[in-house]
Structure formats: C-alpha cells, structure tokens
C-alpha cells in the first residue's frame, strides 16, 4: 500500500497476518502508542457495493456494545477518503493467535487447557448475554497476549439476535472448517453455533492435531470427563448440544476438580543452550525440542537454584539438576518467566558443593522450545520463585551471619577456658610452708608460710592440696582457704580428712583434679549451649542473639498479691516482666535495692501459679546462694529445699538443707506415706484383717507342707546314694575275699602237682587274679568317689531331717493358732476361708499387690537404691553454685522449670552457662556496674595468649553485661529504689554510677550517726594531701607487685579511736568495714590492728579486707583506703568505677574515704574514660551541708 497513513492519523508500520474480508496493519497513533488498524476490503464477489459498509457497521456495533477483558477493545472508527475504505482502530494485542501458537497449546497438560478454555468461554458467554453471536470463531480469531490473557477478535460477520439483518450476504464468509452444521445449511443461527465452533477448536487442542475430517472425529483417548464435554459441544443435533455456555463452564469446574494440578515452572530455551548440550554430547542433534526434553529429564529429580551476580552487577540464576547448571535470566518478552540462556558443566563434586547452599525448588519444570508459552494457574510466576530465593538466601545469610556471630562469641569464651587450662598444666601455683597448727574446734589448720605472698591465686572455692607425709612427690587434698595474711594461711578442712597424712612442711597448691573438673563442666556447658543441646534450645538463640528474646506481657501483680511486705513499684513491675518473659529475663539490681527480696518473692509467685514447678537458685558464690535460700525459707517456711555442694562452704542458716539431710528426711517421709497408704486402702475396701490373717496362715502352712514334700524327696535321693555306697563296699569285700581264698588254694595244691600241670594252673590262676584285681580297681575308684560324698550326704541327711522336724513343728503351731486339732478340721477351715475370700477375691488380690509394691518400695528406699534422682526431684527449690550444680550431672538428670542466677554479673560466661543449660526459663539477677568476673589478667600476657583473639575487655565482660546491652526492654528491668544507704551516700552512688536513676527511700535521721568529729556528716573525705608521708609504697614479689600507704593506715586508726570514744558516750555499738584498694594495704592494716588496736575498740567491731571480699554485704560504717598517691596521678585499677561502686555502697550510715584527694584527681581522663574520683569530689563540694572534706595534718 502506497500510503503510509490511515486517515492522516495513524502511521502504518507494517502489515500483520489475519483479518477476514479485511486487512490488518500495525500502526502508531500520534502519541507513539502501538495500535491495530483494520481496513475493510472492497467486495470482489459482485454483490451489492454497500456490503463493505454493512460488515463494517456490524463489527463496529458488536465492538461498541461489549467491554470485556477477553474481547479486543475498539478505540476509533472511520472512513479513509484517500483509500476509500472503512477502518476500525483496535487495541494492540502483543501475542499470538491460537493458530500460530498451536504447538505450544498442545504440549500443555489437560488442566491448563481447561483453564484456557474457561477464558474463551467467559468471553463468548458475555457476547451471548449481549445478544451477539460471533459466527466465525476459529483459532486465528482468538489471541492471547504476553500476560496470557485471551482476546477474541474479528466480529465482521457477527449477528445481533434482536436485529433483522439478512444473513444471506455474509453467511458464506465464515470459515468452513469451524462452521456449525446449521450454519453450513443456512439455518437460523443461535449461540449454540458458537459452542459447536469452540468444540472444534478445543478438540484440536486436546487431541494435539488438526482436524482432517469433521465427520470422523476420534475422542476415545481423552479422559472421560473431557470426552463428555467435547462430545456434547460437537453434537450435530442442537437439542442434544449444550444450550448455554454456563453449562459447559459448570462441567469444566467439575472436571478440573477431578484432575490434580501440580505447580510447575515453565522455562524458555535459547539456541545457545541447545548448541552447548549438543557439543558436550548430551543430545544427538542441535535441535531445541531435543534440548528441551534433555533438560526436563535432568531437572526431573531434585533441583536447586541460586542467585548469581556478575562483576557488572548483572543478575542471573543457576538452576542445577543432576548433571549440569542451566543459566537462567528473566525473559525479555515475559517478565513472569525464565529463559535458559546457557549451560555450565561441572564435575559431580563441584555441582554437589554448589547445591549445598542453593534453594531447593519445590516445583516441577517444563521446558518450551518455542517462543510463546501458555500460562495456566498451575504455572508459577517466576517473580514468586525469585521472592522465595531471596527469602531463602536472606535467611541463609542471616543464619551464616548468626553462626559466625555465635562462633565468634563462643570461640572467645572457649579460648579463655583453653588459656586457663594451659596455665593450669604449665604453671602449677604452689606456696612453700614451714609448719601448721591444728584448730580442732573450728576444724581448720593455720599454716605458716615460708614468706609473705603478695598475690594469692587461690580462691575460696579451690580445693587445696598439701605435701603428703613420707612422700614428697605425692599430695593430699585438705580443704579450702579461708584467708591468707601476714605469712599465715587458714585452711578449713574438708570432711573425712586425716591430718596425720600431711607433711609437717612442704608445698600448698590447688588440686588440679577439682580445677580440671570445673573447666570440663564449663567446656561441656558451652558446647551444649552452642549446639542447643540444653533443656530449652531457644535460650541458645537468645544468648547469642539477645534481640530474639520475647515476652507475652500478660501478667499484672499488685502489692496485695505479694507475700513479702517490702515490695515497691519497681519490684512489682520487674515481677510482672519476669513472669511474662517467654524464656529469659534479666534484672539489674543496684546496691541496696533488694535483689534477694525480689528473688524470694519471684519464687513465691512462681509456685503460686504452679506449685509443681522446680526452681534452681544458683550463684557464683556460696554466700549469695545461702542468702537467697534463707530469704526464701523465711518467706515460705514449709518449702522443700536442698542445698547442693561442699558442706564446709555452707552458711549455718542452710546447714540443715544439705542433700544428705534432705534424703534422710525424704526417705522417712516416703516410708511413712507408703505405710499410711496401705492402711488407708485397707480401710477403704473393708478388709477383714482376721480373715486375711487366717488365709495368710493357711498359705504359710501350705507352703511349709510343700517344703516338707520337697525335703522328703531330697531325703530319698540321699538314701539311694547311701545305699549305692553300701553295695560297693560289699562288692569290694567279696572280691577281696575271693582273691585271698584263691591264693590259699594254689598254695595247698602246689605241693602235690607235677611241674608241667602246676605251670598251667599258675597261668590260669594268674589270669583270674588279674581280672579280679582290675575289677577291684574299678570298684575301688567308684567307691572312693562316692565315699568322698558320703560325709556330705550324711550332713545333708541330718540337716534335712532337722528342717522337716522344724517345719512340722511350725505347722503344728500355726494349726494351734487356728484352733484346729485334726486334719479334717483344718480342711473344713480352708474351705470356709476360701469361700469367704472368693466373694471379695478381686479387692483382696489388689490389696495384696499394693501391699507387696509398698513393701518393695520401702525396702528400696531404705537401701537408697538409686533414689538420688527421686529425692532431688521431690525438692521444690535446689540451691548450688554455678559449677556446684554440675556435680550431680553424672548421676541425676537435672531439669528445672526455672533457673534463677544471683550475682550473675560476677560470673564468667562459661561459668553461668552451666546452670542456664538446665532451665526452661532463666532469670539473671545482678549488676554489671559492680565487680566484673574475676579472671587472671595475666592469661593474655602468656606466650600462648598471643595466639588468641582475647582482650582485657573480653575477660571482664560478663554474659549479664552483654545481655543487658542487647536485650529488648520487654525482657529486662532495673530495681531503682534503694533502702540501704543514707540518702547522701545513696545519691552519690546514683549520680556516679546509675545516671541519677537510683532513688533513695531512706531518711537522714534514721540512717545517720551523730558524730561530732565529722560535724554529723555522713560522707567524709579525710585528705592526706598536706601530709609529707602521704606517698604510696610499692611492694614487689617476682612478677607481682602491689601497693600500700602507711600514712592512710595511721589516719584510719586515729579516727577509729575518736569514733569509738564518741560511740561510748552515745551508748551505741556499730560495725565497721575497712576496705583497702590493695592486698598489701589490707595486710598492713590487719597487722597494725592485731598488734596495737584489737583490744582498744569496745563499741565497734572491725573487719578489714579488699573490695572483692565485701561484694554482697553491708555495714554501718565504711573506711575506704585509697592507697595510691603519686605525682603522676596514676591510679591503676582504682580507676575502675565498678570497684568504687562496690566499696562505697557497702556503707549504711557513714562513708569515710581516706587518701590524697589532689593526687587522685590530678588527671580528669584516664585511658579514655572519666576519672571517677573527679566526679566524687565534685559531688562532695556540691553538697557541703552534708559532706565534709577534712585535710589531716
């Protein structure tokens, strides 16, 4: 066509196939939008010239009347004067018609074909409802676009049922191959004609072949349901054909329900992929259908896919089957599908390795060798698969990141344990001693060391060994260190220690056996937590990813619901949160806030909700465990409680709750309950005890009678054996006598017989005598054998007779008890009792069984036969140190509903994991603002320590601190009301260490001591800045060094005397703690006190120790000796605010700091952190009304 435009509006791009009595062109409108222009051909059949207009008008009317998803939309219409042709502008359908896509349509399963059929039927049904009959339905008039939406086109000879168009002019323009019988015969056309045409179209699609002869259609190989549909659509008799489209749709819905529809991926295929398969010998010819079949076969089993990103950031997808990788990209023509663009070949091991981290595709795969593929509801949109891949890879990457995170954290904890083990194996810590004395009253020994030791590596929980007497190479476990100062060590002896086994002098060291056992327990707990082999595996996830902790937030508690009367708002809130938490809850308890009160009330609330729950109370220290147990017992006096561990470490308050004591009490309780149960059951079923007793006696008599019968039988056997022996004796006598008589006979005859005859007689006699001797030997052997048994037979015979007599006497006694004197009376009584028992036989039998079981159970309990598990399980609360609870692990399967760990901030991560592994729900109570875990800092200074990625912070960071930093707010809380300290001291602690959030609920009046020496102030700094002797003194011993300050020691005792005198006037008694920053200062203070002052303080009791020894305790007055005083302003570990927090917060009424305030505040910043002493001095100066700085002259 010469013209490039239609009606000067639509630019022609190219001619496209299709059209009936028309020509189709792909065009562009003025906006560049692709459209289709249909130009109606002039009539060439010699008919009326206005036929073209009639066909045009008919199609326009049809299109303008309809608006449906599956029907092509009319955009414009008109007449081109230049071309002298009518035209219609239609929407452009970017796809293929059924004719062009016939092969693609045929390869689909029945299910997608039925879905396609539903779309076409939906459009035709819509036309029929608009009273339009298409009259020319055929494969070329039905299209589907790239989104697989069906579009019916070409309404050129359609008919409006309610009009009076003459069909004569257009009826012959329908396609004969798809024409209905009535249409071919020129009869009246209805919607049933379209149904017939559709039947022919879908016959071809279901059969996968074009119709050659309409009169010989074979549908026998189709499924029954589909066969019925096609058959009814193609019935030549209209009265037997479907009347309405809705009837067909109904049958299709039913047929689809009978067919299973698997989800599948439909993939395209490029020539490059086919060529590669051919080159590598996977197909015989380089043909797409062969390649498609080969790939489908390779992907028929399990197949995997993963995302691949190139250096240019281009994304493709590796689809892996049995033998090779199909490289896929999103189809440019259809964004909902993949196309295989290439193939990659790997060896089996490499392919398997890539599958390991790929997503297993849960859908079947179908490959299409042609460009267009039909979509059914069974086909998966590739974007859905991509989302699944992305989600899988996201989860996989998160898991990988989590695993690396877990590995990083766990490896650090594991490395710390390895370093401790290495140190234990390579550096045996020993101290030489020269003598010891025994204190029998305290069951301890005081050991005199050869020299003073500045740094003791023994902890109170380490079992100590001493050199064994008479063997310098052997050691003997003795007990636990109580204290060590001034070259003397006090050791509390363990149970069953024979002190005579200890050498008078030698070495003290830590028992490697116990230390190694502790390390093994921590290693095992760490492994179990890491690999989720614990009571609650979710806890493992939370430990390494704290943000995963969750809470139901479903608890409400009021003060009246509580057992304790010391419950404030923060405790109530914390109790609600602890009970609501699903797996883990963390409570920070600053000094004086009542952590133990919280623990005891939590135990009460737990048991109030479920009395069957079992609770473990654990802590890093024995003191904390005992304190919590005591508080719980005060709140719930009837609670069953066990304290597990080393008895020598227990406080007096829990000594009666040891495992041994509990087991004895439990045993007595079980026996009593068993006996009570038997008596109760007996009364319940109405047992006649006398009848039962008589029956038992009869059963005993019967048993004795049977025993007598058995003994009598045994007696007869013994008598037979005795008879055999007597017979053999007789045989032996006979043969012996025969031999003697024969010898005599030969002697007599020898005197009167000739020599030759005598020789014959002698020969005969010799043979006879030899035979008799042989027989005699046999008899003798048998006789000897039986004779050896004869004594035994005699003893048995006598014993059996005695037993028979005894049992006969017993029978007579029982019969006398039953008042029967003859056998007849006995038999009558048996019958009477039997008949009486028969009436209640079931209950008597049941009672006998129960009584027997109870007796067996009582016997087992009395013998302690493996009942540790049962006894521990019967306790409601179990208390133990973190490592001590593992001591039962080998013999008892420990599982607790709740594990509550106190002082959790002081335990090392591997240490605290031991109890955590045993609980369903975990509550950690502690304070990371106080003392951190105690691990020897020198570990990371060892040569092997350089090979580990361990820092000082790693050693000091507890699991509690780590969790507190990362847990969500629903699973952690803080107690913010303190009741211990004078509010002036309390406010100092709050501002310095808790960001001002700690509220003091105490009053100055009730928490003060009116001492004139300090102007009645509660916070005092006695400064030595003006003293010439105020400098620190360094004390060295090998690799260790420590500090002391004589000036501060003198000042402390000077003021203690003044305080003591004032308390005398006030008639008050007070407790004083002197807390030293360094061990050498503690020893100096102790030495001065014991040598000069121990007898001078009548109104105060004094305890001197380091900060570590005082955590968890409190006292009336605290003296804190700073010790450090130098020109450089160096503070060493005193700069650790946590240590100051512990030291200062021990004071209830009066805190006195002694030291050079100018020296310790010389540097504002220390190692990148604020100097805490600067803040302390600022607080004192800001509160001069209640605080005092006094410079000591």
Length of the chain: 1193
Cβ atoms < 10 Å from Cβ of 614: 23
> What is d(CA 749, CA 746) in angstroms, rounded to the nearest whole number?
5
> What is d(CA 1124, CA 1115) in angstroms, rounded to the nearest whole number?
24
Task: Give the CA distances from residue 1043 to residues 381, 453, 1079, 1122, in Å, rounded to whole numbers and listed in that order.
Answer: 76, 13, 8, 10
CA 1137 to chain centre: 37
CB 18 within 8 A of CB 140: yes
- pLDDT at res. 169: 40
Cβ atoms < 10 Å from Cβ of 731: 16
One fold for 520-666+891-973 and 977-1191: yes
DSSP bridge pairs for 372 = none
CA 1059 to chain centre: 58
What 3-state DSSP class applies to 1117? strand
What tens digit of pLDDT does each residue of 566-596 get? 999 999 999 999 999 999 999 999 999 999 9
> What is d(CA 264, CA 969) in angstroms, rounded to the nearest whole number?
46
Q: What is the DSSP string of 414-460?
A: HHHHHHHHHHHHH---EEEEEEEEEETTTTEEEEEESS--S-----T
Kindly tell me if the per-residue pLDDT of 945 is higher than 90.
no
What tens digit of pLDDT does each residue of 257-301 get? 777 667 789 899 999 999 999 999 999 999 999 999 999 999 998
Burial 1057-1088 (b: 16+ CB within 10 A, else e): eebbebbeeeeeebebbbbbbbbbbbbbbbeb
Q: At the topology level of CATH, where does 5-258 sit?
A: Transferase(Phosphotransferase); domain 1 (1.10.510)
The residue assigned the tokens 């595709």 is 361
pLDDT band at 943 (very low <50, low <70, confident <90, very high): low
Q: Which of 133, 123, 177, 178 is nearest to 156 (CA)?
A: 133
- pLDDT at res. 849: 76
> What is d(CA 965, CA 261) in angstroms, rounded to the nearest whole number?
52
Q: Which token pair is 1002?
A: 């105490």
The residue assigned the tokens 């240590």 is 1139
Q: Which token pair is 1182?
A: 């800001």
Q: Which token pair is 800?
A: 């059996």
pLDDT band at 863 (very low <50, low <70, confident <90, very high): low
Q: What is the DSSP string of 876-945?
A: SEEEEETTGGGGGTTTS---EEEEEEETGGGS-HHHHHHHHTTEEEEEEEE-TTS------GGGGGSTGG
Cβ atoms < 10 Å from Cβ of 542: 22
In this structure, what DSSP letter does residue 601 have?
A: H
Q: Which token pair is 1032?
A: 């620190």
CB 465 within 8 A of CB 478: yes
- pLDDT at res. 812: 83
Burial 700-717 (b: 16+ CB within 10 A, else e): ebeebeeebeebeeebee
Q: List CB contacts of 998: < 8 A, sequence separation 6 or more.
A: 590, 593, 976, 977, 978, 986, 989, 990
Helices (H), 864-958: 868-873, 909-916, 952-956
> What is d(CA 691, CA 281) in angstroms, rounded to the nearest whole number?
96
Mean pLDDT of the chain: 85
Angle between helices 823-839 and 689-749 (to 10 degrees): 140
State mean pLDDT over 1010-1024: 97
CB 1189 within 8 A of CB 1154: no
> What is d(CA 1104, CA 737) in angstroms, rounded to the nearest whole number?
107
Q: List CB contacts of 1158: < 8 A, sequence separation 6 or more.
A: 1023, 1025
What tens digit of pLDDT does each residue of 422-468 get? 877 676 678 899 999 999 888 899 999 988 776 676 777 788 999 99
CB 1180 within 8 A of CB 1187: yes
More confident residue, 707 or 1164: 1164
Q: Which token pair is 229?
A: 């549909």
What stretches of 964-1096 adopt beta strand conformation (E)? 972-974, 977-978, 999-1000, 1019-1023, 1033-1037, 1040-1044, 1070-1076
Q: What is the DSSP string of 712-765?
A: HHHHHHHHHHHHHHHHHHHHHHHHHHHHHHHHHHHHHHGGGS-HHHHHHHHHHH
Q: Which of 156, 159, 161 is nearest to 141 (CA)?
A: 156
pLDDT band at 160 (very low <50, low <70, confident <90, very high): very low
What tens digit of pLDDT does each residue of 99-151 get? 888 888 888 888 888 989 999 999 999 999 988 898 889 998 898 887 778 99
Q: List CB contacts of 909: < 8 A, sequence separation 6 or more.
A: 413, 526, 933, 958, 959, 962
pLDDT band at 939 (very low <50, low <70, confident <90, very high): low
DSSP bridge pairs for 1101 = 1071
Cβ atoms < 10 Å from Cβ of 477: 14
- pLDDT at res. 848: 74
- pLDDT at res. 867: 57
Domain extent listing, the chain: 5-258, 264-380, 520-666+891-973, 689-839, 977-1191
What tens digit of pLDDT does each residue of 887-930 get? 775 557 789 999 999 999 999 999 999 999 999 999 999 999 99
Instruction: Report, in this order, helix, strand and coil percent for the chain, each rounded to 5.
Output: 50, 20, 30
What tens digit of pLDDT does each residue of 959-997 get? 999 999 999 999 999 999 999 999 999 999 999 999 999
Find the catalytic residue in 7, 41, 80, 136: 136
Q: Which of 466, 503, 501, 496 is nearest to 481 (CA)?
A: 466
DSSP bridge pairs for 72 = none
Cβ atoms < 10 Å from Cβ of 249: 16
Kindly tell me if the per-residue pLDDT of 751 is higher than 70.
no
Q: Which of 1098, 1114, 1123, 1188 is nearest to 1149 (CA)?
A: 1114
Kindly tell me if the per-residue pLDDT of 94 is higher than 50.
yes
Kindly tell me if the per-residue pLDDT of 824 is higher than 70.
yes
For the chain, the farthest-separated pair of C-alpha atoms sits apart, in whole angstroms, at: 181
Percent of the chain topping pLDDT 70? 85
Q: Is 402 a catalytic residue?
A: no
What stretches of 450-532 adopt beta strand conformation (E)? 463-468, 471-485, 488-493, 506-510
In degrees and rounded to multiples of 5, residue 1058 shows phi and psi of -65, -40
Question: ∠ at Cα 60 (55, 64), nearest 5°?
Answer: 155
Question: ∠ at Cα 578 (576, 579), nearest 5°?
Answer: 65
**How far from each other are the two terminal CA atoms of the chain, in whole angstroms?**
121
State mean pLDDT over 1106-1131: 94
Cβ atoms < 10 Å from Cβ of 562: 19
More confident residue, 776 or 370: 370
Helices (H), 616-688: 622-635, 659-685
Q: Which of 1183, 1191, 1120, 1179 is nearest to 1150 (CA)?
A: 1120
The answer to whether the pTM exceeds 0.95 is: no
DSSP bridge pairs for 465 = 477, 509
Which architecture, in CATH terms, is 689-839? Answer: Orthogonal Bundle (1.10)
> What is d(CA 1184, CA 1038) in angstroms, rounded to the nearest whole number?
45
CB 1134 within 8 A of CB 1124: yes
Which architecture, in CATH terms, is 977-1191? Answer: 3-Layer(aba) Sandwich (3.40)
State mean pLDDT over 1109-1137: 93
In this structure, what DSSP letter does residue 571 have?
A: H
> What is d(CA 923, CA 916) in angstroms, rounded to the nearest whole number?
9
Q: Which token pair is 2?
A: 């010469």
In this structure, what DSSP letter does residue 822 have?
A: S
- pLDDT at res. 167: 41
The superfamily in CATH containing domain 520-666+891-973 is P-loop containing nucleotide triphosphate hydrolases (3.40.50.300)
């Amino acid at each position: 066509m010469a013209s490039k435009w239609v009606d000067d509006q639509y630019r022609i791009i190219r001619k496209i196939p299709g059209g009936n009595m028309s020509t189709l062109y792909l065009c562009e409108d003025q906006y560049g939008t692709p459209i289709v222009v249909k130009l109606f051909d002039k009539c060439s059949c010699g008919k009326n010239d206005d036929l073209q207009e009639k066909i045009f008008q008919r199609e326009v009317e049809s299109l303008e009347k309809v608006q449906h998803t599956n029907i092509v939309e009319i955009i414009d219409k008109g007449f081109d004067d230049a071309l002298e042709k009518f035209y219609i502008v239609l929407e452009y359908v970017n796809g293929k018609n059924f004719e062009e896509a016939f092969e693609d349509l045929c390869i689909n399963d029945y299910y997608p074909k039925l879905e396609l059929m539903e779309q076409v039927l939906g459009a035709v049904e819509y036309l029929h409802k608009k009273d339009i009959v298409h009259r020319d339905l055929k494969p070329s008039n039905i299209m589907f676009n790239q989104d697989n939406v069906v579009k019916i086109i070409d309404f050129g000879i359609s008919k409006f049922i309610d009009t009076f168009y003459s069909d004569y002019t257009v009826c012959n323009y329908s396609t004969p191959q798809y024409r209905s019988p009535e249409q071919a015969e020129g009869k009246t056309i209805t919607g049933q004609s379209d149904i017939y045409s559709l039947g022919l179209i879908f016959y071809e699609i279901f059969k996968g072949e074009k119709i050659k002869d309409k009169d010989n259609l074979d549908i026998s190989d189709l499924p029954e349901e589909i066969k019925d549909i096609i058959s009814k659509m193609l019935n030549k008799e209209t009265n037997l054909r479907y009347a309405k489209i809705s009837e067909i749709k109904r049958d299709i819905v039913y047929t689809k329900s009978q067919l299973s529809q698997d989800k599948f991926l439909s993939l395209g295929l490029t020539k490059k992929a086919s060529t590669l398969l051919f080159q590598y010998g996977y197909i015989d010819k380089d043909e797409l259908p062969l390649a498609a079949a080969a790939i489908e076969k390779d992907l028929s089993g399990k197949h995997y896919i993963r995302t691949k990103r190139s250096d240019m950031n281009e994304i493709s997808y590796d689809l892996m089957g049995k033998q090779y990788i199909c490289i896929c990209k999103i189809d440019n023509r259809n964004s909902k599908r993949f196309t295989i663009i290439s193939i990659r070949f790997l060896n089996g091991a490499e392919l398997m390795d890539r599958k390991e981290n790929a997503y297993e595709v849960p859908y079947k795969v179908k490959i299409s060798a042609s460009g267009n593929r039909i979509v059914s509801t069974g086909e998966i949109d590739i974007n859905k698969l991509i989302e699944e891949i992305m989600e899988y890879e996201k989860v996989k990457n998160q898991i990988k990141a989590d695993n690396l995170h877990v590995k990083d954290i766990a490896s650090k904890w594991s490395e710390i344990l390895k370093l401790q083990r290495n140190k234990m194996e390579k550096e045996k810590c020993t101290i030489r001693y020269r003598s010891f004395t025994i204190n029998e009253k305290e069951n301890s020994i005081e050991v005199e060391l050869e020299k003073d030791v500045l740094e003791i590596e023994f902890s109170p929980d380490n079992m100590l060994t001493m050199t064994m007497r008479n063997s310098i190479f052997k050691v003997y476990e003795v007990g636990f260190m109580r204290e060590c100062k001034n070259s003397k060590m006090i050791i509390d002896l363990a149970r069953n220690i024979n002190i005579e086994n200890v050498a008078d002098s030698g070495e003290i060291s830590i028992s490697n056996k116990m230390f190694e056992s502790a390390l093994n327990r921590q290693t095992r707990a760490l492994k179990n937590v890491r690999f989720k082999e614990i009571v609650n595996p979710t806890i493992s996830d939370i430990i390494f990813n704290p943000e995963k902790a969750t809470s139901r937030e479903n608890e409400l508690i009021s003060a009246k619901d509580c057992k304790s009367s010391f419950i404030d708002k923060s405790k109530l809130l914390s109790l609600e949160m602890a009970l609501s938490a699903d797996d883990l809850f963390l409570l920070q308890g600053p000094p004086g806030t009542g952590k133990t009160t919280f623990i005891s009330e939590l135990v009460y609330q737990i048991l109030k909700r479920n009395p069957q729950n079992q609770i473990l109370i654990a802590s890093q220290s024995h003191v904390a465990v005992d304190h919590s147990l005591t508080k719980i017992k005060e709140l719930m006096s009837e609670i069953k409680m066990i304290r597990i561990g080393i008895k020598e470490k227990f406080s007096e308050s829990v000594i009666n709750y040891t495992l041994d004591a509990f087991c004895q009490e439990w045993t007595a309780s079980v026996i009593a309950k068993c006996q009570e149960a038997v008596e109760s059951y007996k009364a319940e079923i109405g047992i006649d005890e006398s009848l039962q007793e008589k029956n038992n006696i009869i059963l005993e008599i019967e048993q004795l009678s049977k025993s007598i019968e058995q003994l009598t039988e045994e007696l007869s056997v013994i008598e037979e054996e005795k008879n055999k022996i007597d017979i053999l004796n007789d045989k032996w006598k006979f043969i012996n006598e025969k031999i003697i008589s024969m010898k005599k006979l030969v002697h007599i005859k020898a005197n009167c017989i000739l020599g030759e005859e005598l020789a014959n007689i002698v020969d005969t006699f010799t043979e006879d005598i030899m035979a008799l001797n042989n027989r005699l030997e046999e008899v003798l052997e048998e006789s000897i054998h039986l004779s050896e048994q004869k004594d035994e037979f005699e003893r048995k015979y006598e014993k059996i007779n005695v037993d028979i007599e005894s049992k006969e006497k017993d029978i007579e006694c029982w019969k006398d008890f039953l008042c029967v004197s003859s056998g007849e009376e006995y038999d009558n009584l048996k019958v009477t009792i039997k008949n009486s028992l028969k009436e209640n036989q079931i209950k008597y039998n049941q009672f006998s069984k129960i009584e027997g079981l109870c007796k067996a159970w009582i016997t087992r309990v009395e013998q302690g036969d493996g009942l540790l598990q049962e006894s521990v399980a019967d306790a409601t609360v179990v208390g133990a140190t973190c490592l001590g609870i593992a001591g039962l692990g080998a013999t008892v399967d420990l599982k607790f509903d709740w594990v509550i760990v106190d002082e959790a901030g002081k335990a090392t991560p591997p240490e605290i994991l031991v109890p955590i592994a045993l609980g369903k729900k975990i509550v950690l109570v502690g304070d990371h603002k106080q003392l951190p875990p105690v691990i020897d800092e020198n570990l990371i200074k060892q040569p092997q320590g350089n090979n580990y990625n361990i820092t000082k912070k790693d050693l000091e960071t507890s699991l509690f601190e780590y969790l507190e930093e990362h847990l969500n707010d629903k699973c952690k809380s803080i107690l913010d009301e303190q009741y211990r300290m004078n509010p002036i001291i309390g406010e100092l602690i709050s501002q310095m260490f808790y960001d001002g959030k700690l509220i003091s609920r105490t009053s100055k009046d009730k928490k003060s001591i009116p001492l004139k020496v300090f102007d009645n102030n509660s916070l005092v700094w006695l400064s030595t800045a003006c003293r010439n002797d105020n400098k620190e003194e360094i004390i060295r011993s090998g690799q260790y060094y420590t500090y002391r300050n004589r000036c501060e020691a003198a000042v402390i005792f000077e003021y203690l005397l003044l305080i003591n005198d004032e308390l005398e006037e006030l008639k008050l008694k007070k407790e004083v703690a002197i807390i030293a920053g360094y061990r050498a200062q503690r020893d100096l203070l102790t030495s001065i006190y014991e040598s000069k002052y121990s007898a001078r303080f009548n109104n105060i009791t004094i305890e001197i120790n380091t900060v570590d020894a005082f955590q968890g305790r409190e006292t009336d007055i605290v003296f804190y000796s700073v010790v450090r005083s130098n020109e450089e302003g160096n503070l060493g570990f005193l700069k650790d605010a946590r240590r100051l927090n512990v030291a200062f917060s021990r004071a209830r009424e009066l805190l006195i700091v002694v030291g050079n305030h100018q020296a310790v505040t010389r540097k504002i910043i220390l190692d990148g952190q604020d100097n805490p002493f600067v803040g302390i001095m600022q607080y004192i100066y800001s509160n001069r009304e209640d605080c005092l700085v006094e410079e000591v002259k």
